Amino acid sequence: MNQVQFQAPKLTKINKIILIATVVGFLATAILKAIGAFSLVNVLGLSGNGLFQGLIFQLITYPFIEVQLMGALFNCLIVWFIGSELESQWGQKIYLRFLLLIVIGVGLIFGLVNLIFFFGTPVYFASLHGLSGINFALLIAYSLLFPDRQMAFMMIFPMRAKTFCWILVGIEVYMAIFTSLKTSWAHLLAMGLSFLIIHFQNKPLIRTVLQSSWKPRTTKKKHLYVVKDDDQKPPKYWQ
């Protein structure tokens, strides 16, 4: 009887740094809360108030602040399993630039919307934090590159990556509309940016941002490409 064996992908360099930073941020947040000190979420999490006060570093630090153990564990696993495969496909520089576009892009839009439309309200002071936005962006990219790969919804139900992706989008749209969670709007924004980057990656601006001064490890030009199955060869996207 054949047995299906599961093998975790190798944890790549950029994702290893992300996981270490997240674990350190989670432990520091928990320790400071336990001893009754200041809230690290208010300092390193992203808020309209923080940006207005000049805490620009929040645009980079907010993904690494997790406050719930199970949420932190799940988010780290997504970065490991999905992110490591994308980093292996793209290389460190393109992968890092993709993440920076997502993190800073979401952060700037989130901060500006809070500053313009919610100044002085509780939303203006609330902090955005956690790896969820990055993870949704990675899942969108993965589903575009490998639409027919099998994924397990809720770790149980197998389905195509494209289907999995649309279910996630539907859930976040529902949460954003009917629960008014600011995090859901941020997740949808991360998904949208990820889709635009992958879909229009051959445009000069995006190509320049992602590939400028990038030297591939081999002389062969690399591309991402949409994969109908693992044996398809014609290139369309960077790999």
Tally DSSP H helices, then E strands, for the chain.
12, 2
Number of domains in the chain: 1
Tell me which residue range forms the domain holding 194: 13-211
Residue 77, domain CATH: 1.20.1540.10
Q: How high is the mean pLDDT of the chain?
A: 83
Q: Assess if residue 53 is contained within a domain.
A: yes
In this predicted model, what pLDDT tens digit does every residue of 155-200 receive, in sequence order? 566 778 888 888 888 888 888 787 756 788 888 899 999 999 998 8
In this predicted model, what pLDDT tens digit does every residue of 71-116 receive, in sequence order? 899 999 999 989 998 999 999 999 999 999 999 999 999 988 888 8
Q: Assess if residue 232 is contained within a domain.
A: no
In this predicted model, what pLDDT tens digit does every residue of 193-234 receive, in sequence order? 999 999 888 888 888 888 775 444 444 544 555 555 555 554
CB proximity list for 40: less than 8 A, separation 6 or greater = 25, 28, 29, 32, 65
Q: Are 138 and 71 in contact (CB under 8 A)?
A: no
- The C-alpha atoms of residue 88 and residue 10 are separated, in whole angstroms, by 9
Q: What pLDDT is attached to residue 179?
A: 75
Q: What pLDDT is attached to residue 235?
A: 43
Rounded to the nearest 5°, which phi and psi values hold at 228?
A: -80, -35
Q: What pLDDT is attached to residue 7?
A: 62
Q: What pLDDT is attached to residue 155?
A: 57
Q: Assess if residue 223 is contained within a domain.
A: no
The neighbour count for residue 184, using CB atoms within 10 Å, is 19
38 band by pLDDT with thresholds 50, 70 and 90: confident
